[in-house]
Structure 1
């Protein structure tokens, strides 16, 4: 499946033994020898929600949340249950998803974590203006995010700067890196270096992290269209409560793979 070009593989392991390991995730994530994805979502049985989701990066590392894949799984399971709403459990907690239209799904991504220890950072700093060149913001949406605001997005060398920031000693668990050009108070352009993944066409959780940073800086209103390379999503945050991510999802193909 994909969401504005942010592609992910969904494996349904409900009622089965979970066979997905770091090695299996790496093999499946290889775009030349496997399937290829930005994230892998594994659907597991759950006692207090419709399903529990576990997420993997293509390098075999685990992540706690993925907004695009969560919406994709929600789309699948809502169709299965003939329902317009569903609750899924991730390491981020219980996330409520709602169908907005035939191909459009919204997810309550929970409150952003803004304290330096919760992101986590390795030292106490102002998370609204980090002590790095460019004074980026930082937050966590379950995964760490670092957001730079730039005048001209086209001039940013994402492939060079991104991995340097991802691996900076300030970020104990590494970080996603965003580069944002503010078009107006309700519209931004976003390019991303994804922790453990490289440059994607889009990312739901990164879109959320970028908007949170812009609202904290006073640059954005509470509802923002985020234009990624792969297309737009909408993010809403009132500055206090949950962040809501809304956008299209689409199934591309189904199949069976030997692991």
Structure 2
């Protein structure tokens, strides 16, 4: 099978995007791993499939596969690239795009400057909804990792996140603690891990170790999770600039059951065709 694709990225978090809207495309986990392989395939953090919706009132269905071949629920940087893709490919001319994902329906807004604003939905802190094993919901949870006691925040942004505050992301032990937290038994579906440095109430720096992908240059849901947790801790304002290794996102949250809003760029790199 000769498969057309487009390579895209959101702040360096990179994607292979495939049009499964106009043609029938079904990928198994081995094919996803091949596409994501940076030596033998195309290379990416995630593979995105653009499909026809399965429910009324929705423009598209959007599926996300991590580099390890597993399907996941949500990806903020991927959502922005998705919006840019469907407009570039002529699949829609809308500035407001309603998209079905595995974690629910999200709405994407293409701004006049080309950036994409995404309604990421409300954060979910209840342990069973993350999912996370805990006796009761709390702002912080003690967690033993590699024999070391840590305190984390836990939240779902459609996918599970653990947030750990650090003094300096440059010296944070991402390579050591990331895999240990990702596969911690209290997160039965594994977890994305954010290492957050608070600069001031409107500015944080963040590194994210993504479930099934390792550390990435940017993570949209990770940025939302960090701001949600920081707000819950009373240490951040409602609008926060999040500096990631690949660039910056703006996250806004009014708190409570209100949705988080993420604004940032989406970049088309190249297109091609690969044989599967």
Give the shorter-chain TM-score range: over 0.9
In the alignment, what sits opposite 1:142?
158
Deviation of 1:126 (Å): 3.6
String of CA shifts for 1:55-95, please: whole Å, max 9, x gaps: 10000111000111111111222342232211111012111
Runs of 5+ unmatched residues, structure 1:
none
Q: 1:54 aligns with which of 40, 54, 63?
A: 63
Q: 1:203 aligns with which of 216, 219, 241?
A: 219
Hey, what's the Cα distance between the residues in 1 that align with 2:222 and 2:112? 23
Q: Is residue 163 of structure 1 aligned with residue 172 of structure 2?
A: no
Q: 1:187 aligns with which of 189, 203, 216?
A: 203
The SS at the match of 2:14 is strand
Deviation of 1:125 (Å): 4.1
In the alignment, what sits opposite 2:86?
77
Greater mean alpha carbon deviation, residues 218-227 or residues 100-109: 100-109
Runs of 5+ unmatched residues, structure 2:
1-7, 144-148
In the alignment, what sits opposite 2:29?
22
Q: TM-score, normalised by structure 2?
A: 0.91
Gap change, CA 1:93 and 1:58, over 3 Å in 2: same
Task: Kindly indicate which of the two structures has a greater share of residues assigned to strand.
Answer: 2
Hey, what's the Cα distance between the residues in 2 that align with 1:101 and 1:203? 23
In the alignment, what sits opposite 1:109?
120
Hey, what's the Cα distance between the residues in 1 that align with 2:67 and 2:236? 32
Hey, what's the Cα distance between the residues in 2 that align with 1:204 and 1:33? 27
Hey, what's the Cα distance between the residues in 2 that align with 1:127 and 1:162? 22
Q: 1:3 aligns with which of 1, 10, 18?
A: 10
Q: Is residue 242 of structure 1 aligned with residue 259 of structure 2?
A: yes
Check the 8 A contact 2:125/2:137 in 1, yes or no: no
Q: 1:43 aligns with which of 45, 50, 64?
A: 50
Q: Is residue 66 of structure 1 aligned with residue 66 of structure 2?
A: no
The SS at the match of 1:251 is strand
Q: Could you list the runs of 4 or more consecutive aligned residues of structure 1 that deviate by over 3 angstroms after TM superposition?
A: none
Deviation of 1:39 (Å): 1.2
Check the 8 A contact 1:78/1:86 in 2, yes or no: no
In the alignment, what sits opposite 1:89?
100
Hey, what's the Cα distance between the residues in 1 that align with 2:267 and 2:24? 27
Hey, what's the Cα distance between the residues in 1 that align with 2:249 and 2:209? 18
Gap change, CA 1:127 and 1:30, over 3 Å in 2: farther
Check the 8 A contact 1:127/1:139 in 2, yes or no: no
Check the 8 A contact 2:252/2:262 in 1, yes or no: yes
Q: TM-score, normalised by structure 1?
A: 0.96
String of CA shifts for 1:20-67, please: whole Å, max 9, x gaps: 111111111111111111111101111432110111000011100011
If asked which structure has higher relative contact order (CA below 8 Å, sep 6+), I would say 2
Deviation of 1:124 (Å): 2.3
Deviation of 1:131 (Å): 1.7
Hey, what's the Cα distance between the residues in 1 that align with 2:205 and 2:112? 24
Paired residues in the alignment total 259
Deviation of 1:112 (Å): 0.9
Hey, what's the Cα distance between the residues in 1 that align with 2:238 and 2:60? 30
